[in-house]
Structure 1
Amino acid sequence: MSTHVSTTAPIRPKGLRNNFRWFVIGMCSVSFFINYLDRTVLGVALPFIRQDLHIPDALSGLLLGAFFASYALTQMPVGRLFDRWAVRPLFAGGAVLWGLVTMAISLSTNSVHLLITRFLLGLGESVNYPGAVKVTSKWFPVEERVFATSVWDNGSRFGSALSLPIVTGLIALVGWRGTFVVAGALAVLWAIGFWFLYRDPGHGRGSAAELEYIRAGGARVDDAPSGAPSIPWRQLFRYRTVWAMILGFFCLNYVIYFFITWFPSYLVQARGFDILQLGVFGMIPGLVAVLGSFAGGWTSDYLLRKGWPAGRARKLCLVGGMLGSSVIIFAAFADSAVSALVLLSISYGAVAFAGCNVASLPADVAPDAGQVSSLAGIQNAFANVAGFIGPALTGLLLTISGGSYVVPLVISGCVAIAGALIYAFMIGKIEPLEIKSQTREKALAGAL
């Protein structure tokens, strides 16, 4: 089995020409910004769409969750495709699809149309997570990997936060239908730019010095798209660490997707925000989450450079972030909108602190380079079931309770605590998983 890191610490090259990898990760960050803007538009525009199309709370939850149903279902096959095929056509093609579907949402005249387009949107956006994980594993050494992950992960945070002022402003200017057209067009433009600018390491992008640096630092450069992996991807389910990654990420996503889906409606319905207050104050938790994600990436990589084992560095951020996000419980009982907003900001910032470390795990523990996106797809597929269950359950609870958000917020906090316990006690060593056939061979050799 190949190791991640060279025994000699690589020297980081200086100069723009020798740091093309940061431009690459910047492109991924822009993709996530547009990705989350497009998937968040419905959540922000929903109060206005409901007025026009007369959609009840329970059905609103299904509309918000339909995206995550298709998104979760396609994560494993898409992750597998990234390990077997080239990154560029898959990433760009998916962006074109989700951009066109977003524009098509503007044509909806009833809830059936919305359900269909939201489902198709999940198919297109399914390329983003495994694609970004694959790109990061190719272009970044181990000691820069989590901070690099925080950069593209924060594209989603900016998308979620800025979608409030952007979308509310667009709705005021061109209506909710025109807003979907603008948001979808951004994805198509990004796909064109990515197609012309992106290449894998050693294929016309990046200098020789940068390539040597990332190779020495453990970047998983040498994984030919057609190369056969060391084990079938189905065998990954035999590892407890993989199940811990799945369950822990499910808990993390359950909390995050409250902010992505129901948070704007919460501010309007439970706290009485008007459209101006929603656009200005509603983006505060998302901006705090940006800082939390950068802090989580910096902390994890800093501890690794200081000699901490990867397991301790990653798990400290994972467990601490999930525990911190559980303060969302107290927002349910806050007396004022200000105190609720502060608590929700802390919760979102803390879960983002953990989130960038979650996204680095597939590259950290995959048995070989040909399993990175497959493992990312597995982790993200099951975790995003939370994106369907959470919004749908919240809509149902709102219908039962007459519009109270107390129970949904308490459930989110309890799920966050469960996630912290999973990362603390269930996940094993954070290192390349040892192939079980090799383990048996070593045991037999030792017996002889």
Structure 2
Amino acid sequence: MENKPKVFRWTVVILLFTATTINYLDRQVIGLLKPTLEKAFSWTEKDYSYIVMAFTAAYAFGYLIFGRIIDKIGTKIGLSVSIFVWSVAAMGHALASSTFGFAFWRVLLGAGEAGNFPASIKTVAEWFPKKDRALATGIFNAGTNIGAVIAPLFVPWILGVYGWEMAFILTGAVGFVWLIFWWIMYERPERKKGVSQEELAYINSDVEEDDTGESDEGVSWGKLFSLRQTWAYVLGKFFSDPIWWFFLFWIPSYFSDIFDLDLKKPSIHIAVLYVVATIGSVGGGYLSGYFIKKGWPIYKARKATMLIVAFAVMPIMAAKYAPSIWWAVALISLACAAHQAWSANMFTTASDMFPKKAVSSVVGIGGLAGSVGGVLFPWLVGFILDKFELAGNIGAGYNIIFIICGFAYLIAWLCMHFLAPKMTKVKL
């Protein structure tokens, strides 16, 4: 039987999973409080879309900056700074007394939360060989769904008992608890006390000679932007990330507008949606790893999995025909699961195509691209919904948005395929 040090890499995944859960818990609170805050501050759909855009704009540039910084200072300090900033910002929402105030705290939250994924993807690349990275990524990325499950179960309860201010304070405070465990427990594998030589050998089993660890030699953005592999990652994120943002910020309102779901009460419908998405995250990571262990080339395993899940999103276009809320939950759950399966593999392609010293920078650039899409898409969503709401047919507005969602991943896959057909590893 293996002792604990031999499998410490999975303890690292649990830490990343927990951080990602907190990340998405804090992010989703405002979506669940939207009906209450709309009344309290007289928001229109456009007002709310501006608040979402403020978050995503800050998240975009935060992604780029944190990606660069984490490649320089390392994952331990980088992720610590990230979660400290976003936890302060999450709690700060309770102080907001205007739309501008909410926008301010959303900007700080977005900037802080942006460090989570560049740090986590780099951490997985440091602790896992390629054949296990998608599964490890899928597991920690499932935290996005668990955070989204926890939020609709507890935030409405906190709202009803203590008010909307405490919903922000209590959820934001959780990050500081996690930070204690991260600082005490985490270190790079070659520096971590107690990690066995056997585990180190397994971690480095497919490491190339020029990719054995950290490097003081930076890789310029100019160099990265000159590579087709970078643009493959960038466009993959640009077309797919905004869809998840829509699911996160607008699906609760969709259920409220179309099916009269009471968001002041714990919502099993939203919880089910994200539980299914969790299965997709882990399943997508497992599937590409399964193909690799069957002898498939890494690029083929990733692309086959991503194409399968791109098609799995498309049934969401039938949501307009849903005769009841549970039919809508089923279709949207499938799309969310497919997105998370896509995301587990999408993130992993960065460490497939780039050496460890550039992984966070590439993830940051891709995150910027995805967030730019995340800025533009909420503007379009807000415009469409306001227009159709005035016409007395907001459901038709959601139907148009679902059609866009249905095709987005196939477009992303085609862009990646033509720019990086075999996802050739970059030599830097």
After TM superposition, is the score higher than 0.5? yes
The answer as to whether partners of 1:40 and 1:260 remain within 8 angstroms in 2 is yes
Distance 2:284 2:31 in 1: 27
What amino acid is the match of 2:81? G
1:442 aligned residue: none
State the Cα deviation string for residues 178-220 of structure 1 (Å, max 9, x = none). Answer: 0100111011221222112111112134222211221124399
> How far apart are 1:176 and its partner, in Å?
1.3
Instruction: Work out whether 1:347 is the aligned partner of 2:335.
Output: yes
Distance 1:414 1:36 in 2: 25
The partner residue of 2:261 within 259, 262, 273 is: 273
1:306 aligned residue: 294
> How far apart are 1:221 and its partner, in Å?
7.5
1:190 aligned residue: 178
The partner residue of 1:407 within 387, 397, 400 is: 400
Q: Secondary structure at the match of 1:429?
A: coil
In the TM superposition, what are the counterparts of 1:229-248 in structure 2 within 5 Å? 229=218, 231-248=219-236
The answer as to whether partners of 1:249 and 1:383 remain within 8 angstroms in 2 is yes
> How far apart are 1:276 and its partner, in Å?
6.8
1:428 aligned residue: 421
Q: How many residues align?
A: 420
What amino acid is the match of 2:407? C
What amino acid is the match of 1:413? G
Shift of the 23–215 alpha-carbon distance from structure 1 to 2, 3 Å rule, reads: same
2:217 aligned residue: 228
> How far apart are 1:69 and its partner, in Å?
0.5
Q: Secondary structure at the match of 2:309?
A: helix
Instruction: Work out whether 1:208 is the aligned partner of 2:197.
Output: yes
In the TM superposition, what are the counterparts of 1:245-256 in structure 2 within 5 Å? 245-256=233-244
> How far apart are 1:243 and its partner, in Å?
1.2
1:6 aligned residue: none
Distance 2:177 2:379 in 1: 32
Distance 1:140 1:275 in 2: 41
The partner residue of 1:161 within 140, 149, 165 is: 149
2:326 aligned residue: 338
The partner residue of 1:139 within 114, 127, 136 is: 127
> How far apart are 1:390 and its partner, in Å?
2.1
2:313 aligned residue: 325
> How far apart are 1:333 and its partner, in Å?
3.5
Distance 1:97 1:277 in 2: 30
RMSD across aligned positions (CA)? 1.8
The answer as to whether partners of 2:160 and 2:264 remain within 8 angstroms in 1 is no
- Structure 1 alignment gaps of length 5 or more: 1-12, 436-448
In the TM superposition, what are the counterparts of 1:289-304 in structure 2 within 5 Å? 289-304=277-292
The answer as to whether partners of 1:215 and 1:221 remain within 8 angstroms in 2 is no
Distance 1:276 1:342 in 2: 22
The partner residue of 1:39 within 9, 24, 27 is: 27
1:28 aligned residue: 16
Distance 1:56 1:386 in 2: 22
The answer as to whether partners of 2:156 and 2:265 remain within 8 angstroms in 1 is no
State the Cα deviation string for residues 314-367 of structure 1 (Å, max 9, x = none). Answer: 00111111221122211133233222211111111111111100011111101x
The answer as to whether partners of 1:72 and 1:384 remain within 8 angstroms in 2 is yes
Instruction: Work out whether 1:94 is the aligned partner of 2:92.
Output: no
Distance 2:15 2:22 in 1: 11
The answer as to whether partners of 1:254 and 1:415 remain within 8 angstroms in 2 is no
Shift of the 423–318 alpha-carbon distance from structure 1 to 2, 3 Å rule, reads: farther
Instruction: Work out whether 1:395 is the aligned partner of 2:382.
Output: yes
Shift of the 114–78 alpha-carbon distance from structure 1 to 2, 3 Å rule, reads: same
Distance 2:143 2:25 in 1: 10
The answer as to whether partners of 1:241 and 1:428 remain within 8 angstroms in 2 is no
Q: Secondary structure at the match of 2:180?
A: helix
Distance 1:16 1:276 in 2: 44
Instruction: Work out whether 1:151 is the aligned partner of 2:139.
Output: yes
> How far apart are 1:132 and its partner, in Å?
0.2
> How far apart are 1:86 and its partner, in Å?
2.4
Distance 2:341 2:347 in 1: 11
What amino acid is the match of 2:145? R
2:365 aligned residue: 378
State the Cα deviation string for residues 257-277 of structure 1 (Å, max 9, x = none). Answer: 111110111110122112377
1:72 aligned residue: 60
The answer as to whether partners of 2:53 and 2:375 remain within 8 angstroms in 1 is yes
- Structure 2 alignment gaps of length 5 or more: none
Instruction: Work out whether 1:170 is the aligned partner of 2:158.
Output: yes
> How far apart are 1:76 and its partner, in Å?
1.8
2:107 aligned residue: 119
Shift of the 152–291 alpha-carbon distance from structure 1 to 2, 3 Å rule, reads: same
Q: Secondary structure at the match of 1:27?
A: helix
Distance 1:341 1:350 in 2: 14
The answer as to whether partners of 2:252 and 2:263 remain within 8 angstroms in 1 is no
Distance 1:207 1:168 in 2: 46
> How far apart are 1:51 and its partner, in Å?
1.3
The answer as to whether partners of 1:141 and 1:218 remain within 8 angstroms in 2 is yes
Distance 1:217 1:19 in 2: 18
The answer as to whether partners of 1:141 and 1:215 remain within 8 angstroms in 2 is yes
Distance 1:168 1:425 in 2: 46
Runs of 4+ residues over 4 Å off in structure 1: none
> How far apart are 1:406 and its partner, in Å?
1.9
The answer as to whether partners of 1:295 and 1:353 remain within 8 angstroms in 2 is yes
Distance 2:260 2:418 in 1: 41
Larger mean Cα displacement after TM superposition, 303-312 or 270-279 = 270-279
> How far apart are 1:278 and its partner, in Å?
6.0
